[in-house]
Amino acid sequence: MIVKEWCMYCGECAGVCPRCLIEVRETSLNFNEEGCKDCRICVQVCPVKALAKEE
């Protein structure tokens, strides 16, 4: 997952990830990429489009 520089670590993406894979730290995000099912729900809800999936 690509996290853009303007991510504000609000945690909305973590709240909707059905597999609970996103750890929101104070100034960074950790993705457990191994478990990711590529559903892109996290990308969809971000209020500022700060996530992109690596193609």
Partner 1 sequence: MKLIETEILVIGAGPAGSSTAKHAALNGAEVILMDKKSEIGAPKRCAEGVSKEGLSKLGIEPNSRWVTKELSGVRLISPNGTDVWMKEDQVKLPEAGYILERKVFDKFMAMEAARAGATIMIKTLARGMRKDNNGYIVSCESMGEDLEIKAKIVVGADGPESRVGRWGGLKTAAKPKNMESGIQFEMVGVEMDDPDCIEFYFGSVAPGGYAWIFPKGDDIANVGLGIISTYTDKTAYEHLLEFVKNCPATKNAQPVELNIGGDPVGGMIKNLVKDHIMIVGDAAGHVNPLTGGGIITALEAGMYAGEVAAAAVKDEDYSEKRLMEYQEKCKNEIGNSFDKYLKTKDYMLSLSDSDLDSIAKAFQNTEFENISTKELIKLLIKVSPKALLKLGKLF
In this complex, which beta carbon is closest to ligand SF4, that of residue 26 or of residue 50?
A: 50
Give alpha helix (H) positions in the chain: 12-16, 41-45
12: contact with partner 1 by CB under 8 A = yes
Q: What is the DSSP letter of 20?
A: -
Residue 40 interface partner, choices partner 1, ligand SF4, none, CB cut-off 5-8 Å depending on type? ligand SF4
Sites of contact with partner 1 (CB under 8 A): 8, 10-12, 14-18, 20, 23-26, 41, 44-49
